[in-house]
Structure 1
Amino acid sequence: MNRTELRFTLRLIPFLDSVESFEDGLVRLRDRRWLVWHPDVMAALFRNDRALRHPPSRTLSPLLGNRSVLWLDGAEHTAYRRTLAPMLRGARYQALIEEMVDRSIAELPSGPTSVSAWTRKLTLRIIGRVVFGVDDDELLTAFTRWLDRRLGSRVRTLAHRYLTPGTTRFDPRLDAMLLHRAHSAEPPALAAYLPRDDLRDQVVSLLFAGHETTASAAAWTLYWISRTPGLTGELDDDLLDATIRESLRLSPPAALAGNRMSDEGMVITPSIYLAHRRAATYENPHVFDPARTPPPPGAFFPFGGGVRHCPGKDLALLEIRLIVRALLRHRHVRLSSPTSTPQLRGAAMAPPPSLAMVATCRH
């Protein structure tokens, strides 16, 4: 591993900040591996995505499994997405999400609460209901502990990745609980349609991808609202959507999109973080401005792009919208220890645990 790739691996956000001004929008990390973010390159990459391979993440594949839909390819990938897509349609869950959001807001303590911890618990509850059809806090608490032991800090993530490479990070007891719940779900959305040997990987992938980035995006939106004059109180639909979109631009829930590999072995890593902060694309890119005009193709892809774009995008946007709207409607929200330094959980980019909110009842 050369010095450039070492900096990229060990100190991702500082490294991305250091190359942000590169006008050509690409950096060679090592021989035959490139980090890219130029909008023209990104648009072409996503147009030709079906012709590329999508190698597993060295950080996440030991957790999610090698059969995760996130790195299947070809007809197999297409078939899995067609199976999973109907259960991830956002509109069918609006009443459920509203009920769960209201309950979570009612449970907020009177003192400071970690924003990212609160949104993570809430969005995991929501995707748990989507996948299993029931609430199971014991299972979701066990899932959270398992995930935090592996991704709860950058040190843990890197230690798991490099000190014992090639080994899985599964928890047999947790897997048994997940499979039991999936088989007993009503309706049996996954167990009835997926091969038994793949079920564990798809359940874990849905729980992870279905809550981690959504939670980060909701927390970042609350952060930016708290820092922007004129965005206090209840927002109308257009302003709320514009605010969420600008938050996704400036603080995307993931810094990187999945790797792409050509038949010749060239690996391309798209950078969402850098594409969204490119000065040639966005005027004053570090300024939070919900009134921005829409960017050109390839310049805005907070949920990935091409054939790997997130199938739960609409569900995630609905959750973010309902969480933010309900919280601002029912509570006066004040953030303490305001900081924008992100915490990396794999490639996910969450606000740090120290970012706390105090949410008091409106009278």
Structure 2
Amino acid sequence: MNRTELRFALRLIPFLDSVEGFEDGLVKLRDKRWLVWHPDVMAALFRHDRELRHPPSRTLSPLLGNRSVLWLDGAEHTAYRRTLAPLLRGTRYQALIDEMVERSLAELPTGDAVGLAAWTRKLTLRIIGRIVFGVDDDELLTAFTRWLDRRLGSRVRTLAHRYLAHGTTRFDPHLDRLLLHRAETAEPPALAAFLPPEDLRDQVVSLLFAGHETTASATAWTVYWIDQTPGLAERILTDEALLDATIWESLRLCPPATLAGNRMSDDGMVITPSIYLAHRRAATYENPHSFDPERFLGAPPQPGGFFPFGGGVRHCPGKDLALLEIRMIVTALLRHRRIMLNAPRSCTPQLRGAAMAPPPSLAMVATCRR
């Protein structure tokens, strides 16, 4: 591993910041591996995505499994997405999300500081847990969270998980048995009736992880930016278009995934798209480091310059569900609670794998509106 790739691996955000000004929108990490973010390159890459392979993540594949839909290719990938797409159709879950948000708001201690990202993770995991299992099981989801946090809960844990135990799976057999039992007894059967038994574990874990982690981060960042922008909370409660623009701008400036997954050509060239850098490109966005929701009230962003949910054949099938969750959670928070954030002086993102969450020190104090 050369010095450039080492910096990319060990200090991802500082490395991305250091190459942000490269106008050609690409940097060589090593022989036959490139980091790219130029919008023309991204648009072309996503257009030809079906012709490329999608190698597993060295960080996530030992957790989610090699049979996860995230790594499958070709006809197998297409078939799995067709199976999962109806399960993730957002509009069918509005009542469920409303129920879970109301329950989580009721549990918020009045006047006490609560970690914002931890609260949104618990809530979004409850939502995807009900979708996958058909029932509430906070005990099982808490065990899943502990298992995940032991591996991705800090940058040190992530790097140790990736480099010190390379080549081994980090499954928890007991947890897997509990997850499979819940999936196999779900009513109605969300997955077990449609997937081969040997693949069920990997798809369940993938759905739980991908179905809550990035949505939770995106929700927390949106709340953070609303808090940091005087008067915005009152305005978005009466302007749905402004709420959507606020969410999009938060996704631009603080995308919950910094990278969009590796692509590999037939000759072994690996291309890694950077969502983080594409969203901060000065040639695409005026004042790219400023939070300005109104930039999304006009013309849509340049194709290839905005892809918080990935692109090509790997774009997130849960995009609409995630956006619905963010809208409903943020709206409920602002309507039913007065929110004050105890924001640290430097709100440095916490990396969980390649996902970018607010730091644990970002705390929320909620009081009831009268």
Please confirm whether the aligned pair reaches a TM-score higher than 0.5, indicating the same fold: yes
SS at match of 2:272: strand
State the Cα deviation string for residues 325-346 of structure 1 (Å, max 9, x = none): 0000001111103443100001
Matches within 5 A, 1:80-99: 80-99=80-99
Which residue, 312, 316, 333 being the options, matches 1:306?
312
Cα root mean square deviation, aligned: 0.7
Query: How far did residue 235 of structure 1 move?
Result: 4.5
Aligned partner of 1:75 in structure 2 is: 75
Quote the Cα distance in structure 2 between the aligned partners of 1:160 and 1:336: 31
Quote the Cα distance in structure 2 between the aligned partners of 1:226 and 1:140: 29
State the Cα deviation string for residues 137-171 of structure 1 (Å, max 9, x = none): 11101000000000001111111111121000000
Quote the Cα distance in structure 2 between the aligned partners of 1:276 and 1:340: 19
Aligned partner of 1:240 in structure 2 is: 243
Quote the Cα distance in structure 1 between the aligned partners of 2:189 and 2:99: 23
Amino acid across the alignment from 1:10: L
State which drifts further: 72-81 or 234-243. Answer: 234-243
Question: Runs ≥4 in structure 1, deviation > 4 angstroms?
Answer: none
Aligned partner of 1:5 in structure 2 is: 5
Aligned partner of 2:29 in structure 1 is: 29
Aligned partner of 1:130 in structure 2 is: 131
Confirm or deny: 8 A CA contact 2:257 2:354 kept in the other structure.
yes
Query: How far did residue 102 of structure 1 move?
Result: 1.1
State the Cα deviation string for residues 202-236 of structure 1 (Å, max 9, x = none): 00000000000000000000000000122123342
SS at match of 1:69: coil
Quote the Cα distance in structure 2 between the aligned partners of 1:166 and 1:107: 41
Query: How far did residue 264 of structure 1 move?
Result: 0.4
Matches within 5 A, 1:1-363: 1-110=1-110, 111-233=112-234, 234-292=237-295, 293=298, 294-338=300-344, 339-363=346-370
SS at match of 1:194: coil
Confirm or deny: 8 A CA contact 1:182 1:188 kept in the other structure.
yes
Confirm or deny: 8 A CA contact 1:235 1:325 kept in the other structure.
no
Confirm or deny: 8 A CA contact 2:131 2:190 kept in the other structure.
no
SS at match of 2:252: helix
Quote the Cα distance in structure 1 between the aligned partners of 2:233 and 2:197: 49
Query: How far did residue 81 of structure 1 move?
Result: 0.2
Quote the Cα distance in structure 1 between the aligned partners of 2:323 and 2:143: 26
Confirm or deny: 8 A CA contact 1:116 1:215 kept in the other structure.
yes
State the Cα deviation string for residues 285-320 of structure 1 (Å, max 9, x = none): 000011114211000000100000000000000000
Quote the Cα distance in structure 2 between the aligned partners of 1:153 and 1:15: 18
Quote the Cα distance in structure 2 between the aligned partners of 1:172 and 1:6: 33
Amino acid across the alignment from 1:182: A
Amino acid across the alignment from 2:250: S
The size of the alignment, in residue pairs, is 363
> With structure 1 as the length reference, what TM-score do the two structures score?
0.99
Confirm or deny: 8 A CA contact 1:27 1:34 kept in the other structure.
yes
Confirm or deny: 8 A CA contact 1:304 1:310 kept in the other structure.
yes
Quote the Cα distance in structure 1 between the aligned partners of 2:216 and 2:116: 9
Quote the Cα distance in structure 2 between the aligned partners of 1:235 and 1:303: 27
> With structure 2 as the length reference, what TM-score do the two structures score?
0.97
